[in-house]
Amino acid sequence: MRKTNVLGVYAVLLTLLTGMSVVSAQEVDPKKHGAASTKAAAPGAAEKSLLIVTPEYIIGPEDVLEITVWKNADLSKQVQVRPDGRISLPLLGDISAVAKTPTQLTEEISTGLRAYMENPTISIMIKDVQSYNIYVLGEVNKPGKFPLKSKTTLLQGITVAGGFTPMAARNKIVVFRFTKDGEGQTKLKASYDDIVVRDGSSQNIELKPGDQIVVPSETMVVLPSR
């Protein structure tokens, strides 16, 4: 493993041990907080790492959005994306927000509101990033939710979760991932032996926010009848 990869994995492990959380760039505003905020982040305090929210940012479950409809306070709202990937808005009801950029969601809301008003002007701000996590479940030593702060592969995700238990069916790994429209999930399969021993490096996929990695036990794997 190259030095850069080793440092990357070490950084992820250090993050988990120190309990650092991911925050959006909007949470830290030097103009508002000034030098006082800098002093507050003294050595020894729990530091927060910044995740820069770009126009290409993909909205995920639990993200907090501030949706503003110009000159209409009743329709403006701060909402959190539900685990099912949807948000609820006045007049429009439930809308799928997950797997979309703020621009795409803005256009969808604008289209819906045109039935009630002429040329609505919408703006969306990511107030709090909560969705950049992966979930590792099943036969790993430390199952749970882990922050995703840099490029992370499937094997790195399993390593962060403490590796396989003796009962793990390591060649039957399944990754559940939201589809691009956010309306469902796809199922990706991977084999540890294929990745490590055989030419199956394509199965060592790069993880995305919201991915659920499931490592079943050997007792759950049903052998085909002969």
What does 147-211 look like in DSSP terms, one character per residue? E--S--BHHHHHHHTT-B-TTB-TTSEEEEEE-TTSSSEEEEEE-HHHHHTSS-GGGSPBP-TT-
Does any domain span residue 195? yes
Report the pLDDT value the prediction gives residue 78, as an integer from 0 to 100.
Answer: 96
- On whether both 103 and 15 belong to a single domain, the answer is yes
189 has which bridge partners? Answer: 174
Report the pLDDT value the prediction gives residue 184, as an integer from 0 to 100.
Answer: 77
- On whether both 95 and 178 belong to a single domain, the answer is no
- On whether both 139 and 109 belong to a single domain, the answer is no
Give residue 102's pLDDT band: very low, low, confident or very high (50, 70, 90): very high
Report the pLDDT value the prediction gives residue 58, as an integer from 0 to 100.
Answer: 85
Domain boundary (128, 159, 176) is at 128
| Better-predicted residue by pLDDT, 183 or 21 | 183
**Is pLDDT above 50 for 76?**
yes
- On whether both 74 and 116 belong to a single domain, the answer is yes
Give residue 29's pLDDT band: very low, low, confident or very high (50, 70, 90): very low
AA letter at 72? N
- On whether both 209 and 140 belong to a single domain, the answer is yes
Strands 64-69 and 77-80: antiparallel
Does any domain span residue 67? yes
Question: Which residues, 6+ apart, have CB-to-CB distance to 206 below 8 Å?
Answer: 151, 152, 153
- On whether both 155 and 172 belong to a single domain, the answer is yes
Does any domain span residue 38? no
Does any domain span residue 72? yes
Q: Report how far residue 79's alpha carbon sits from residue 226's, in angstroms, rounded to the nearest whole number.
A: 54
Assess contact for 52 and 25: CB atoms under 8 A. yes
- On whether both 114 and 190 belong to a single domain, the answer is no
Does any domain span residue 36? no
| Better-predicted residue by pLDDT, 139 or 37 | 139
Report the pLDDT value the prediction gives residue 23, as an integer from 0 to 100.
Answer: 33
- On whether both 187 and 121 belong to a single domain, the answer is no
In which domain, by residue range, is 183 found?
133-220
Looking up residue 170, the CATH number of its domain turns out to be 3.10.560.10
Does any domain span residue 201? yes
| Better-predicted residue by pLDDT, 226 or 148 | 148
Report the pLDDT value the prediction gives residue 224, as an integer from 0 to 100.
Answer: 53
Q: Which class for 212: exposed (0-12), middle (13-18), buried (19 or more C-beta within 10 A)?
A: middle
When pLDDT is averaged across residues 204-210 and rounded to a whole number, the result is: 90
Report the pLDDT value the prediction gives residue 185, as an integer from 0 to 100.
Answer: 84
- State how far Cα 100 lies from the chain centre: 12
Assess contact for 38 and 45: CB atoms under 8 A. no
Burial state string for 145-168 with b = 16 or more CB within 10 A and e = fewer than 16: ebbbbeebbbbbbbbbbeebeeeb
- On whether both 15 and 121 belong to a single domain, the answer is yes
When pLDDT is averaged across residues 105-119 and rounded to a whole number, the result is: 94
Report the pLDDT value the prediction gives residue 148, as an integer from 0 to 100.
Answer: 85
**Per the structure, how many domains does the chain have?**
2
- On whether both 161 and 174 belong to a single domain, the answer is yes
